[in-house]
Chain A
Amino acid sequence: MGLLDKHLGYRAPLDGIRAAGVDPFAVRFDAVTSPTEGELDGKQVILLGTNNYLGLTFDPDCIEASAEAVRKWGTGTTGSRFANGTFAGHAELETSLARFYGRKNAMVFTTGYQANLGVISGLVGRGDHLILDADSHASIYDAARLSQAEVIRFRHNDPEDLYKRLRRMGDQAKGSLIVVEGIYSMMGDVAPLKEMVAVKKEMGAYLLVDEAHSMGVLGDKGRGLAEMCGVEEDVDYIVGTFSKSLGAVGGFLVSDEDNFDLLRIVSRPYMFTASLPPAVIASTLMALKRLEADSGLRVQLQANADQLWNGLRDMGFAVGPHASPITAVVMPDQAMAVTMWNALLQNGVYLNLAIPPATPDNRPLLRSSVSAAHTSAQIDTVLSVFEQLGQEFGLLKRPRRASA
């Protein structure tokens, strides 16, 4: 008997997945040599599942800024900003983020997960109402629990369903907080933000958009889905992360909220955790500059996304509704998903195996994310491996289509 006995229901499925080959939840890279390449068991693999959208993890300027900061400021802050103080870099990053988004205020968190936890639990509490897209990220669900607010879910990306549920709440809809994501991390689909903003305004609710996967990816300036949809003024709170397009770790909130400073003393996930180390802050600041200065990165990312999505769709794989830096291939069942995932790895392609309940509609997925740093040749390699394996395992019914 042990405390973990209650989780033994996971034992057989986990062992089954492990028995099929490599453990997909504990892949160990011997080396990562670029934003798109790693070594695993002495073999080179193409990294196609790392959310490294702009490929900035190996950007020379980011590395240099980070190295300089670690020498100048040391390896860590060894505590929270509340207790150990704010380093100049934290303040500079907050100022830069606020300016980038055209907002009065910004606040930096130690991870993206904690940003959702800290922001949502600070904004709503017992007696407040929180309205979540059904496919929300785990950090949003966990934030909901921490907040102790009353939580209502609406059907994924469905503004009419959102409207119906808010109307059902009567007077309580006014002042409730709606939370949606820019790009959803499993299928790569985007929220119909314009329509949701219309609902929010009619019902007198607040709106928070998590741009974790869309910052640096969508919008002319890279500010995300709200910018792309032209509705930034009607989005009350924007949350994001440094661990995807900015190539480091951390999270943030920007808003025009007048009493913003109060959030710093009521947000437990902000207050009771160590702040980001100077090296991370420095590389993030530089990556934000790169994101702002080089719109070519976004153009290249979209071209790469198009190449992968079009290629997979043309072969006959079941992919998401539109090209996106996240492309998920729907697998018929979990056994095939595990088999394909292992075979892809054997053939030098690393991506993510995603299985229910982490995926929408109980479907196992092979989830990939492209980077601006991928070459067209790398994506061609990935596509040919997919085609070969798809035919070998009977996933592709149609014969090979001549490429254009």
Chain B
Amino acid sequence: MGGSPMVELATDLTVREVARAAETVLGRSVQVTPDTDIARDLAVDSLALMNIVMELEDRFDLSIPLDRLATVQTVGDLSDLINKLRVKA
């Protein structure tokens, strides 16, 4: 990722929103960093991940096509994807 402070700020905010979306779907509190592995560290299965994405689509008023999730492993990957899609939108 680039080193601009604006980009880092956006990433921080997005990571926080991913955590909030995960908490809504999972019904428990989670601690995340950009390096958190979604499946392994958060015990999120494929269905829960799709539900988290649905929450995020509403929070960011954005379409996140499921096929883009193929490359998402960490919370950082997911937040990068969202930030990329937001720029495009």
Q: Which of A134, A165, A169 contacts B50, CB < 8 Å?
A: A134
Contact assessment for B45 and A357 in the assembled complex, using a CB-CB cutoff below 8 Å: yes
Q: Smallest CB–CB gap between A81 and chain B, Å?
A: 30
Asked if B77 is at the interface (CB within 8 A of a chain A CB), the reply is no
Contact indicator per residue, chain B 44-61, by CB within 8 Å of chain A (1) or not (0): 011110110110010001
A residues less than 8 Å from B67 (CB atoms): 144-145, 148-151
Q: Is the CB of B46 within 8 A of A357?
A: yes
Complex-state Cα separation, A25 to B19, whole angstroms? 35
Q: Is B62 an interface residue (CB 8 A)?
A: yes
CB of A322 within 8 Å of the partner chain: no
28 residue pairs of the A-B complex, CB under 8 angstroms, read: A129-B65, A134-B50, A134-B54, A144-B66, A144-B67, A145-B67, A149-B67, A150-B65, A150-B67, A151-B66, A152-B57, A152-B63, A152-B65, A153-B50, A153-B53, A153-B54, A155-B54, A165-B57, A165-B63, A168-B57, A168-B61, A168-B62, A168-B63, A169-B63, A356-B47, A357-B45, A357-B46, A357-B48
Chain A residues within CB distance 8 Å of chain B? 129, 134, 144-145, 148-153, 155, 165, 168-169, 356-357
Which residues of chain A are near B54, meaning CB under 8 Å?
A: 134, 153, 155
- Known A168-B57, A357-B45, A357-B46; contact A134-B51, beta-carbon cutoff 8 A: yes
Q: How many residues of B contact A (CB 8 A)?
A: 16
The docked-state distance in angstroms from the alpha carbon of A78 to that of B65 is: 39
- Neighbour of B65 across the interface among A151, A155, A357, CB < 8 A: A151
Query: Which chain B residues lie closer than 8 Å to A151 at the CB level?
Result: 65-67
CB contacts (< 8 Å) of A169 on chain B: these are 63
Q: Name B's interface SS.
A: helix
Cβ of A136 to closest chain B Cβ, rounded Å: 11
| Residues of chain A contacted by B66 (CB below 8 angstroms) | 144, 150-153
For residue B40, give the distance in angstroms from its CB to the closest CB of chain A. 10
For window 6-55 of B, CB contacts with A under 8 Å fall at 45-48, 50-51, 53-54
Given A153-B53, A165-B63, A168-B57, 12 more A-B residue pairs with CB atoms under 8 Å apart are: A129-B65, A148-B67, A149-B67, A150-B65, A151-B65, A151-B66, A152-B66, A155-B54, A165-B57, A168-B62, A357-B45, A357-B46
Closest to B58 in A: A164
A357 to chain B: closest residue by CB: B47
Instruction: State A125–B63 Cα separation when bound (angstroms).
Output: 18
List the A side residues contacting B65 at CB < 8 Å.
129, 150-152
Tell me how far the C-beta of B28 lies from the nearest C-beta in chain A, rounded to whole angstroms.
12
Closest residue on chain A to residue B46 by CB atoms:
A357
In the complex, which residues of chain A have a beta carbon less than 8 angstroms from the beta carbon of B53?
Answer: 153
Distance to closest chain B CB from A252 (angstroms): 27
Closest B residue to A169 by beta carbon equals: B63
CB of B88 to closest CB in A, whole Å: 11
Set of chain A residues within 8 Å of B48, measured between Cβ atoms: 357
Contacts of A168 in B (CB 8 A): 57, 61-63
Cα separation A155 to B58 with both chains bound (whole Å): 11
In whole angstroms, how far apart are the Cα atoms of A30 and B51 in the complex? 41
Closest CB in chain A relative to B89 CB, distance in Å: 9
Roughly how many angstroms separate A152 CA and B54 CA in the complex, as a whole number? Answer: 9
Q: Smallest CB-CB separation from A135: which chain B residue? A: B47
With a 10 A CB-CB cut-off, give which of A129, A151, A155 has the most chain B CB atoms.
A151
CA distance A148 to B68 in the complex (A): 10
Residue on B nearest A168 in the bound complex, by CB: B63
The distance from the CB of A185 to the nearest CB of chain B, in whole angstroms, is 15
Contacts of A134 in B (CB 8 A): 50-51, 54
Residues of B within 8 A of A129 (CB): 65
Which 4 A-B pairs have CB atoms at the shortest separation, nearest pair first?
A150-B65, A151-B66, A357-B47, A357-B45
A144 to B64 Cα, complex, angstroms: 15
Measured in the bound complex, the distance between the Cα atoms of B46 and A165 in whole Å is 21
Residues of A within 8 A of B51 (CB): 134
Output the residue of B54, B57, B61, B63 with the most chain A CB within 10 A. Answer: B63
Bound form: Cα–Cα A356–B62 in Å? 28
Cα–Cα distance between A155 and B50 once the two chains are bound (Å): 11
